[in-house]
A and B are shown apart, each in its own frame.
Chain A
C-alpha cells in the first residue's frame, strides 16, 4: 500500500510556511523526479541501470539548470495509480511521466502542467490474426488497459459514443498488463500511440503479430507537472523544458553549444548567458540554459536519441517552423 504511505505525508506536512521547492531541492542536492516504471523511449533504465528517455531528459534538464549537473536526479518510478499521490504528497518535486495534461488534473488535483514534451493521441493495438482493420469493428472485444488513466476514460467514452461494448481487463503494472495482452487474455491493448509503438518495438515477443489501428481517439498532450502553490519552481521546470525546445530552434546542440559562447548573435548570447542576467530572474546560474544544452541536448537531439530508434517520426512533435506543434515562447 504505497498510496497509503504517501497519503500519510499529507497529514504531517508543514502547512503554510513550507520551504520553497527550489530551496528544498538545493539543500537536498538532487531533484526527485517521478518517472514511468519502464516505458522505452520515455523513461526506462538501460542495461547499465542509467535512466534514459525524453521524460528522463526533462528531469536531467531541471537538474542541469538548478545544479549545473544533469546527473543530480533521483528517479522515483511510479505506476499510473501512484503518480498523482506521490506528487501531491511531496514525495517527488516534479512528475515527468508521460502524463496527459487535462483540465481535471490541472484544476482538481492541485497540479500545474508546465507544458508539453510530447503530443500524443490514444490508439489501439490488436492481434493481427483477428483481422481487424478499424476500431469500429471492436464491438465485444476484451481490452487490456491501465487504471487511473485518461486512456481508461477515453476508451469508455469512445465505445459509448459508437454504441459498442467491451470487456476491460484492468491491471496497474505495465509489465503485468502487457503479459496479459501478449498471453492472449485480451484482443486489444490500448494506450497512447507512443506507448503502443514503444511496447510493440521493445516488449512484444514478435512485433509482426500486432497491428496498430488507424484511429486516434483522443488528444493526449503529455507533459511534466508540478504542485500548485510554488510559482518559482513552476517557472524553473517550465523554462527548463522551453530551453530545450528553443535550443533546437536556435540550432544549438550538445556539440555546437561551446562555439555558441563566442557567437555574435544577441539571441544566442542571451541564451548561453554570455550577456544579460536571465538566469538570475529564475534564481539560477546565468549559464542555466547552456548547461541544459551542453549536458542534456536540445529537444530534437533528445527525440533522435530516445524515440527515433523505436520507429517514431517527429510528426506533430516537430518544431512549429517545420509544421509541428513544438513552440517555445521567446527566451529574453
Chain B
C-alpha cells in the first residue's frame, strides 16, 4: 500500500515537471513570437538538395525534403551495415589466421581505425576524393565509360554511358564524393569494431569443439563454418547489434562533409522556419524509430539462432 502510494507521488511529480516544462516552453515561444507546431511541413521548402532517391525540387514541401533526407540516411545506414559486416568478418577471421602476416595486418587495421576519431577519418576520405582526383574535364577513365573525378565516380549502365556535358557528366550511375567519403569512413571505422567482436566470439568457442571437428575429419575451413561459426554467432550478435546502431547514428556526421542526410535537411529546415524544437524532436523521433527497428530485428535474429 505504502509502496504504491510512493510510486503514485513519484509519477505525479514527473507528470507535473513534464507539464511545467511544456507550458513554460510554449509560453516562452509565444512571448517571443516564435512560430510553433508542424504546420510548416506543408509549406514549400524553397531549397534544393544535392542528391535524392525520389524526385525532389525546391517547389516541393518541407515534408518531402525531410523524406529525401530520411531516405538518404537509410541508404547510408543500409549500405554501411552490409559492407561493414562483410569487412568486419574478414578482419575478424584474419586476426585468427594461421598466417602471421595476415594476423599482423588485421591487428594494425583494428588498432589504427578504432583509435582515431571518426570525424577526422571522414574529413580524410572527403579530402582524398576532392583534392586528389582531377576536375571533370580531366577525369580519369581507367575503363571505358568509367570516370573518376572530384565530382565522384560515374559508372556506365547498359545503354547509358556517362558523357561530359558542360560542367559535369550526365547519364550512367553516380556515386557522389560526399556519399563515397561517408560510406568509406563509416564502413572502415565500424569494421574495426566488428572485427574485434568476431574475433572474440570465435575465441569464446571452446577449443575442444574445433578439435572434435578435426577428429571427425573436417578440415579447418569446414570446422570453422560448420562447428565454430554457428556457436560464435550467438556471442557475436548482441554486440554486433550495438555496432549497427552506432553506425546508423554516426551517419549523422554527414553534415560535416555535406552529404544531405536527415540531420542536414532538418538543420536547414529548422533554420529557415526558426522552429528548432520541432526540428530536434523530429531528429530524435527518426533516430529512435530507426534504432528500435534495428534492435527488434536483431533480437528476433538472435532468438532464432539460440539453442532451443
Contacts and interface: CB of A to CB of B under 8 A. Distances in A.
A184 B130 contact: yes
Contacts of A13: 24, 28
Interface residues of A, number: 56
B59 interface: yes
B268 interface: yes
Contacts of A4: 280
Interface string B113-153: 00000000000000100110001000000000000001100
A148 B267 contact: yes
Given A88-B32, A110-B34, A168 B48 contact: yes
Contacts of A156: 46-48, 58
Contact of B267 (A11, A81, A176, A227): A81
Given A110-B34, A148-B267, A183-B150, A167 B24 contact: no
A229 B31 contact: yes
Contacts of A231: none
A76 B274 CA distance: 19
Contact of B274 (A108, A166, A176, A185): A108
A85 interface: yes
B80 interface: no
A250 interface: no
Given A147-B264, A187-B167, A15 B24 contact: yes
Contacts of A88: 32, 34, 274, 276
B50 interface: yes
Nearest to B165: A140
A229 B34 CA distance: 11
Interface in B41-71: 46-50, 57-59
A184 B274 contact: no
B271 A148 contact: yes
Contacts of B170: 140
B27 to A, nearest CB: 5
B185 interface: no
B150 A184 contact: yes
A171 B258 contact: yes
A7 B277 contact: yes
B31 A141 contact: no
A264 B129 CA distance: 68
B28 A139 contact: no
Interface of B: 21, 24-25, 27-29, 31-35, 46-50, 57-59, 127, 130-131, 135, 150-151, 165-168, 170, 177-178, 255-258, 260, 264, 267-268, 270-274, 276-277, 279-280
9 contacts: A3-B280, A10-B28, A85-B276, A109-B34, A141-B167, A148-B267, A156-B47, A185-B177, A227-B32
